[in-house]
Amino acid sequence: MLLFDVSPGMALVSAVTVIRAKNPVHSVLFFIPVPRNTSGLLPLSGLDFFAMIFLVVHIGAIAVSLSFVVMMPDTKIEEIHENILRYFPVGGIIGLIFRWTNLETLGNLLYTNYSVPFLVSSLISLVAMIGAIVLTIHKSTKVKRQDVF
Amino acid sequence: MNDINSFLSRLNSIINFSTILPKIILIVGLITIVITDLVNKGKNANFLYKIFLISTLVSMGILFYQLISVIAFEDLYTNNTFNNLFRFFILICSFISVLLSVDYVLCSKISLVEFPLFKISAGLGGMILSCATNLITIYVSLEFLALSSCFLSGYTKRDIRSNEASMKFLLMSGASSSSLLNDFSLLYGFSDGQVQLDNIIDKILFSQYIPIICISAAFILAGTAFKLSLFPFHQWTPDVYEGSPTPVVAFFSVTSKVAALCLFTRLFRLIFPYLSNEWHIVVELLAISSMILGNLIVVTQRSFKRMLAYSSISQIGYVMIGILAADLENGYASMITYRFIYIFMNLGTFARITPFSLRTGSDNIKDYAGLYMKDPVLTFSLVLCLLSLGGIPPLSGFFGKLYLFWHGWKAGLYLSVTVALVTSVISIFYYLKIIKLMLTKTTNLVDTLKTYENQKSLVSSIISTKLKSSVEMAMILCALASTLSGLFMDPIIKITRNTFF
């Protein structure tokens, strides 16, 4: 019961601190309790798989890449913030849609009934990867490249 | 083996592959482009454009065939005329906009290969959005379209205005997506767990929680109005249009507006039919404000692309009248025909300013002075397209507007039609000002025009015969469509009549 009482409050406070912190490193630090507490609520609604996936994806991948982003350039980065606020409606809708399933039933539904959005999401990932490279690649003459083929 | 068979048969009963065959062709084209680029190591870029054009043409052919033979399915996709028409429009937009973008991409030395890739993916997103009847599919395809358009608008990365445009587009699409998502979660929870649009209607039709339905209508309106650039949500349009590369502006000024229009119509018509009075008033207000604002601000613009941005804001105001005036016998015919004509008018205008900006490097309207002396073909076709945008007979813009306003008047929208007529006159003033600037002989030309070289084809383009490059083919196509579709309006109206749900 303590988990259920404390988690939403901590998630909210951390989320507000992410936005309001002056130092971007503080923002990244307080970003971590947000998915941790949100995924603490998920097993209570019966979504065991989603709690684990939330932890792995959000903290393991996103918080790590955020810390890289903060580390490398030495300017104040302002555009992390609007990405974070988008997680809440997405998390809400994911939580609502798969209310009564665990992994098997999820797979059943995802590959048949909702297969087309699933395939389109894979296309989104493909285009996002290519787009990120297109927008940021910088060919300079000093860099030695390896010819793979 | 049995598992695979049963899986395939279950899959086949849910998705009928003939309905998504056009999209599958586009997906195959996309993957082919990626793989061909990888294998060829950057040479033979022309071949990639040919792949794009061929796949678009094949999709169009199949879609046209399906338009003629109407089949109905009730699942993730429905195959009625409304969907097919919008998909067809999006394919036309993609095709023509790639034709006019080839020279620009080659000249400005931006990355050549990913350009058709993003165009295909944006076209795909638009097509899936046009026939999505499932909340999840709508959201996913909307994100796909927004993501690809965002990459396209930031394509010239060394230009600061392009970065600014891309950032604004990202923020806009983020706001629109989150608003829509809020609304979808409201609808989902409210209809007891239904994701299909038809089932949602059944569940919420006889409920008593009217305020919540009004709130969800407001969220949908906000989300789609961002994409359509209606009045209070139009602030992103001029900056994005001015900053992005010109062929990209051409592409998403038509494609994303067409897709967003389809989404708007479907959501409002299907989900809130009995709230008609309420949202009619709001949409009418937004349409009137868009028309007034777009046409008044267009007078003070000095940049051609910003002017076209504000004119597109006012055109959306006109189209909203068509949505409000839909009734049983005509369906959305007025809105769809105006949209069809608008595609050609808009793409035609962009097809002319792209080579002009390539040859002279400027976007100012003052630099168009006396263009008649240097390049009469460009001037004449630009005159045709601008007059069509303004709505002068016998060009097709006039017939489109006539049909639209006539339906609006019949449906009782007297205030909107009056405002639309008055603001049309203001916009004609501005287009005529540009035309007069181009057609008058001036003895002292602007510096940029003195060195104007009238090249027939800047580089060796994709579809180039000895006489014309691909940009000129796009120009000619759009000019013909702008003038002749007005005269051949009847068959178009007949096809678009059968579009009421």
Q: What share of chain B is helix, strand, coil (3-state, %, to 5)?
A: 75, 0, 20
Res. B93: pLDDT tops 60: yes
What pLDDT does residue B465 have? 44
The C-alpha atoms of residue B405 and residue B426 are separated, in whole angstroms, by: 16
The C-alpha atoms of residue B86 and residue B126 are separated, in whole angstroms, by: 9
Inform me whether the C-beta atom of residue B70 falls under 8 Å from chain A C-beta atoms: no
Residues 158-217 in B contacting A (C-alpha not used; CB under 8 Å)? 166-167, 171, 174, 177-178, 181-182, 184-185, 188-189, 193, 195
Of the candidate ranges B200-204, B311-315, B374-378, B381-385, the one whose mean pLDDT is the lowest? B200-204
Q: State in Å, rounded, how far the first CA of chain A is from the last one.
A: 58
Inform me whether the C-beta atom of residue B35 falls under 8 Å from chain A C-beta atoms: no
A149: which chain B residues are within 8 Å (Cβ-Cβ)? 39, 41
**Three-state DSSP class for B132?**
strand
Tokens linked to B191 = 């209809």
CA atoms within 13 A on the CB side of B72: 3
ipTM of the complex: 0.77
Closest CA–CA distance from residue B240 to any residue of chain A (Å)? 17
Residue the block writes with tokens 């706001």? B175
Confidence band for B10, pLDDT divided at 50, 70 and 90: low
**Interaxial angle between packed helices B304-324 and B276-297, expressed in degrees from 0 to 180 and rounded to the nearest 10:** 160
Dump the DSSP string for B191-208: TTS--BHHHHHHHHTT-S
Considering only the C-alpha atoms of chain A, give the largest distance between any 2 of them, rounded to a whole number of Å: 61
CB burial of residue B357 (10 Å; 0-12, 13-18, 19+)? middle
Of the candidate ranges B289-293, B387-391, B486-490, the one whose mean pLDDT is the lowest? B486-490
Residues 6+ apart with CB under 8 A from B14: A112, A113, A115, B75, B76
Res. B389: pLDDT tops 70: yes
CB contact under 8 A, B11 and A149: no
- Global pTM reads 0.79
Choose among B80, B89, B71, B203: nearest CA to B135.
B203
Q: Which residue has the higher pLDDT, B73 or A134?
A: A134
Cβ contact B263:B394 at 8 Å: no
B134: which chain A residues are within 8 Å (Cβ-Cβ)? 114, 117
Tokens linked to B206 = 């006889």
The C-alpha atoms of residue B228 and residue B249 are separated, in whole angstroms, by: 14
Q: Output DSSP code: residue B462.
A: S
B124: which chain A residues are within 8 Å (Cβ-Cβ)? 123
B189: which chain A residues are within 8 Å (Cβ-Cβ)? 96
Residues 6+ apart with CB under 8 A from B373: B441, B445
Tokens linked to A98 = 């798969």
B342 vs A47, B7, B396, B398, CA distance in Å? 49, 44, 9, 11
Instruction: Report the chain A residue with the minimal C-alpha distance to residue B171.
Output: A82
Which among B34, B140, B178 has the least Cβ separation from residue A121? B140
Confidence band for A89, pLDDT divided at 50, 70 and 90: low
Tokens linked to B45 = 């870029």
Q: Which residue has the higher pLDDT, A110 or B464?
A: A110
Res. B125: pLDDT tops 70: yes
CB contact under 8 A, A127 and B121: yes
The C-alpha atoms of residue B314 and residue B28 are separated, in whole angstroms, by: 37
Q: How far is CA B458 from the centre of its chain?
A: 27
CB contact under 8 A, A130 and B143: no
Give tens-digit pLDDT for A39-71. Answer: 887 777 777 777 888 888 888 888 888 888 777
Tokens linked to B343 = 């595609």
CB atoms within 10 A of CB B290: 29
Which among B39, B134, B185 has the least Cβ separation from residue A93? B185
For B454-488, b/e burial (b = at least 16 CB within 10 A) is eeebbeebbebeeebbbbbbbbebbbebbbebbee
Residue the block writes with tokens 């997405």? A90
A91: which chain B residues are within 8 Å (Cβ-Cβ)? none
**Three-state DSSP class for B364?**
strand
Choose among B359, B333, B323: nearest CA to B107.
B359
B193: which chain A residues are within 8 Å (Cβ-Cβ)? 99
Percent of chain A with pLDDT over 70: 64
The C-alpha atoms of residue B498 and residue B501 are separated, in whole angstroms, by: 9
How many CB pairs below 8 A link A and B?
Answer: 91
